[in-house]
């Protein structure tokens, strides 16, 4: 499995995966139309954010997109995972974990002090995934803080 930054040519495949994610989350009206321009904003890891993909046998099978945000509270930029999706038939094989770790490395290279992610209200499976990856619960969200002091383990993680 190859994990890499998304390229212009990945647009159709990534829009398809994000559409499947939205369907799984219950957004039945989501059709993915018009996402190509937004995808182009993420290609190449520019100021808006970036997209990482997992590719196997020439097929994009997973995606993780991150928006970059500037905030005083973080003394600069931080990332927000907006979409994270692994094709259902490939789940539980470590692809998501590998993709997430590559995404965290890219965020850190871009100068992010942390990365946040939100999960659906009933997202126990997703929450567990992010906790295993080193994120800590912070209210309704999870945060991965680079170079953080070790904290007491959160009982929910």
Q: At what angle do helices 95-109 and 124-132 cross, to 10 degrees?
A: 60
User: Coil, strand, or helix at residue 39?
Assistant: helix
| Tens of pLDDT, residues 24-33 | 888 776 666 6
Instruction: For the chain, give every domain's residue range.
Output: 2-145
pLDDT, tens digit (0-9, with 9 covering 90-100), for 106-150: 999 999 999 999 877 665 678 888 888 998 887 666 677 787 665
pLDDT in tens, 39-56: 777 786 567 899 999 999
Query: CATH assignment of 2-145, given 3.50.50.60, 3.40.630.30, 3.40.50.2300, 3.40.228.10?
Result: 3.40.630.30
DSSP H/E element including 81: strand 76-86
Q: CA 120 to CA 60: how far, in whole Å?
A: 24
Length of the chain in residues, anyone? 157
């Amino acid at each position: 499995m190859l994990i890499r930054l998304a390229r212009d040519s990945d647009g159709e495949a990534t829009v398809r995966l994000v559409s499947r994610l939205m369907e799984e989350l219950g957004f039945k009206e989501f059709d993915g139309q018009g996402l190509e321009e937004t995808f182009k904003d993420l290609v190449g890891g520019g100021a808006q954010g970036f997209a990482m993909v997992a590719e196997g046998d020439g097929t994009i099978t997973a995606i993780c997109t991150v928006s970059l945000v500037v905030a005083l509270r973080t003394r600069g930029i931080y990332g927000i995972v907006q979409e994270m999706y692994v094709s259902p038939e490939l789940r539980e094989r470590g692809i998501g974990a590998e993709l997430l770790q590559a995404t965290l490395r890219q965020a850190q290279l871009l100068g992010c002090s942390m990365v946040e992610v939100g999960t659906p209200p009933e997202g126990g499976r997703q929450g567990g995934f992010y906790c295993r990856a080193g994120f800590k619960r912070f209210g309704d969200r999870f945060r991965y803080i680079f170079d953080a002091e070790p904290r007491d383990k959160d009982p929910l993680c």
